[in-house]
Amino acid sequence: MMKNIKNTINKIVLGVAILLTTSVVAHAGIGITPADIVNENLKPGASFTTEFKLSRSGNLNEISIVVEPDYGPISSWFTVKPGKVMTFPQGQRIMYFQISVNVPETAEYKDYKGAIHVTALPDDADVKGVMITQGLQLNAQLKLTEEDIEKLSITAIKTENVIKGSPVKIDITAKNEGNVDASPVAKVKVMDLQQNLIEEHDISNLGVVKSNETKTITGQFLSNLEIGEYFLEVEVFLDSQSLRKERLVLSVTEDKPVVATTDDDSKDQKSSIQSLLGDNQEYILWIVAACVGGVIIYFLIDKLWNNKPVEEKEKPASVALGSKKSTREILSISFGFLIFLGLFSASLSDAKVVETMVKDSNKDVQGAQDTTVVPEPTFSVLPAQETDTTYPVFSRPDKNSSVIYDAKDGETFDVMESENGWYKVSLPDGSIGWIPEDLIKSKVTEQAQQ
């Protein structure tokens, strides 16, 4: 009996070829997109690049990715960036790589079919038995043709809001899958929000999109659009064939003062100083006036006591009136301060101005009904609002005329007369300017709306 048992055990031990004790472990998922490399419009010497997105789930350990073209003799046409062996970094769910196809000049005109294998080498080295390595296959289908093929697709059309008077820019992303260069053109219809046609523009200088290239080309046009929102209907053509028509929304925003841009830091600094001076010009003038007044008083007092006898200068009353330098300084500084206070008080009491700049938000959107009552120029003052918004004051009652002053939100002006929707006003420097009524609301108007 014992002998039988021993023989049996020996037989089992000697006969074990494969012994697996580990449980089956499920792999994480892996995927790739796109799943094909297809180009049937190639010519000798052509090249193109496709980007692939590799994704995974579950275990996010660092693994190696191997990309291997299985294309026989033309496998050398393929290059992989960053390389045929890549690292999928730990913790990362997505990685990208590129495969470029470079067709030699000597390539034969025919169809080429093959595949590219992407293999994820497992990191679980402790798994016993037959480890499963996951792979993904990319179908590859290339064709070299003598025929000239135009195949341009427009993948996106975009525009950005513009400042009134600036060129309107249209960005068009085009993908040329043909084997000849393409020069698309565009037609742009500008419409108001009621879809009434306002302007039409042809853009013919968009540029060239080379074969197998995806590129964003930009066209632009000048328009006379007022502030507001508009529809742009952009249609892109290649050889009179419409490729894509898109309707966009364009916002034309208010004018801003032109700020000179330069690479010279010192000029930038100068601009800042000028800007500071401009914003606080009134206060700076008051300070200068106060200083000048103080200096004048100083020298007047000095001259007054210059020829007086020393005994008289030493009297307390004389000292108080500036016979000594220290008291002269105090007196002149005090006088300058009084000048500043006087100017400041005068500015506060200047209450005869009749208009207040208040932004009318309805005017920014076409189609909105404006119920503002046009005010007569006999008003009282509204409190000024502390904002950075500025409004243009024109040299003539014409929005195409030059802007001679940037009025602040809440700034007030004397109205000299009104004419066809424009107010003739007196500017702080004494000159005359014109303000369109759509930038103005009087206090009366504000109350009427309440």
Partner 1 sequence: MQYHADPTDINTQFDAQNWLATVKATDDDSSGHSAESSSGVELNSLVAFSIGASISYGSLGVGQANDPLDRTLVTTATGNVGLDQEHSGASEMCTDYPTCLGATPIPVGYQRYGLSAVAYSSGTVLTVTPVEVELNVPKVTTSTPTTGTTWWGISIPTGIVAGTYNGANTITAVKGEIANW
Q: Is 91 in the site for partner 1 (CB under 8 A)?
A: no
Residue 411 has φ and ψ, to the nearest 5°, of: -70, 145
CB of 83 to partner 1, least distance (A): 20
Nearby residues of 196 by Cβ (< 8 Å), 6 or more positions away: none
Q: Is 342 in the site for partner 1 (CB under 8 A)?
A: no
In this structure, are residues 209 and 215 in contact, taking their beta carbons and an 8 Å threshold?
yes
Residues 30-49 that bind partner 1 (CB under 8 A): 30-36, 38
Taking residues 209 to 248 in sequence order and writing x for each that binds partner 1 by CB under 8 A, - otherwise, the string is: -----------------------------------xxxx-
The CA–CA distances, whole Å, from 206 to 173, 174, 183, 203, 223 equal 11, 11, 7, 7, 18
Whether a cis peptide bond, with omega within 30° of 0, leads into 375 is no
The CA–CA distances, whole Å, from 218 to 133, 170, 204, 267 equal 47, 6, 11, 31
Stretch that binds partner 1, among 81-89, 125-133, 256-264, 278-286 (CB under 8 A): 125-133
Q: Is 126 in the site for partner 1 (CB under 8 A)?
A: no
CB of 154 to partner 1, least distance (A): 7
Of 368, 364, 374, 356, the residue nearest 419 (C-alpha): 374
Stretch that binds partner 1, among 51-59, 288-296, 392-400, 405-413 (CB under 8 A): 51-59
Q: Is 365 in the site for partner 1 (CB under 8 A)?
A: no
The one-letter amino acid at 56: R
Q: Is 55 in the site for partner 1 (CB under 8 A)?
A: yes
Torsion angle, alpha carbons of 393, 397, 403, 406, to 10 = 0
β-bridge pairing 162-163 and 241-253: parallel
CB of 187 to partner 1, least distance (A): 14
**Residue of 6, 7, 29, 92 that binds partner 1 (CB under 8 A):** 29
Round to the nearest angstrom and report the end-to-end CA distance of the chain: 112
Q: Is 22 in the site for partner 1 (CB under 8 A)?
A: yes
In this structure, are residues 277 and 287 in contact, taking their beta carbons and an 8 Å threshold?
no
**Residue of 57, 92, 347, 387 that binds partner 1 (CB under 8 A):** 57
**Residue of 5, 26, 259, 348 that binds partner 1 (CB under 8 A):** 26
| Neighbour order of strands in the sheet with 152-159 | 152-159, 168-176, 214-221
Taking residues 135 to 164 in sequence order and writing x for each that binds partner 1 by CB under 8 A, - otherwise, the string is: xxx-x-x------------x----------
CB of 147 to partner 1, least distance (A): 19
Residues that bind partner 1 (CB under 8 A): 11-20, 22, 24-36, 38, 55-58, 117, 119, 122, 124, 127-137, 139, 141, 154, 244-247
